Amino acid sequence: SHDLSGSFAMVEQIADYLHRELQVPADSRVPQLLRTLETTSQNSRRMIRDLLEIEFLASANSDMKRTRVEVGTVLRESLDQLQQGQELLGQRFTYSLPTEPVYTHLDVNKFSQVLNNLVSNALKFTPDGGQVHVAVEPCPGCVHIKVQDSGIGIPADVLPRLFERFTPARRPGLRGERTTGLGLVLCKTIVEWHKGTISVASREGQGTAFTVEIPQAD
C-alpha cells in the first residue's frame, strides 16, 4: 500500500510539472486534464492513507497509548486551533467545555483525529453564515461530545450506511471539497477502541449532529 501511495505521489508531481512547463494553445484541454489527473492522484493517496489507518487501528490497537486526562484541558487545544482556522471563513465556530474537571482515558492524538474529522465535515456542509458548535459535557458515567451544525443535512435513506467504508453518503462539500468516504469509518474505529459509541441525527435542510460518548475515568 505504501508503494502504491508513492506511485500516485509521482503521478501527481509529474502532472504538476507538465502543467507548469508545457506550452499549449489557449483553447487546449491539456491543462484541465492534467489538473484532473493531479486531483485524482491526491484523492487516491488520501484514500490509501485512510485505509492504512483503519487497518492499523483494527489490528494493532494494543499499541495505542491511552492515559487518564482531563477532558477540557486536552480538547481545548484542538478546539482553539479549529476555531482560529475558521476566522477567515464566513461561518461561526464555537465550543463549550465542562466547568468542572472531567476525566477519561484517551489516546489524545488519535481522539483528536475524531474531533478534527467531525468538525471538518460539519464545516464542509455548512453554508456561509452558518454555525458549527461543539459541546463537551459530563453525563452519568460518560463524557458526551456533540458536534452540531446548521448545514444542509444528510438524506434519510443514507443515514443507516453513514459509517460504512466508501459509504454512498459521500459527496463533495459545498465548496467542492473531495471526500474518500472513509473519515467516519476512521472516527467509529477510534471511538470504539476507546470503548465508546458514535451516533448521528440529521434532517435535510436542518443540519446534522454527531454525538460521541466515552466512559468517564475515576
| 104: number of Cβ within 10 Å | 22
Backbone angle region of 166, left / alpha / beta, with phi > 0 → left and psi within -120 to 50 → alpha:
left
State yes or no: pLDDT of 6 exceeds 60.
Answer: no
Looking at residue 160, its pLDDT comes to: 86
Single out the residue in 17, 32, 59 at which a domain terminates: 59
pTM score, whole prediction = 0.70
Grid cell at residue 75: 480538547
Is 70:109 a contact under the CB 8 Å cutoff?
no
| 107, 134: one domain | yes
Name the pLDDT band for 123 (thresholds 50, 70, 90). confident
Domain that holds residue 105: 65-215
pLDDT tens per residue across span 21-68: 787 777 788 888 887 877 777 777 777 766 666 666 665 455 678 899
Query: How far is C-alpha 124 from the chain's CA centre?
Result: 10
Q: Round the CA-based radius of gyration of the chain to a whole number and report it.
A: 20
Q: What are phi and psi of 203, to 5 degrees?
A: -135, 135
Q: Return the CATH number at 169.
A: 3.30.565.10
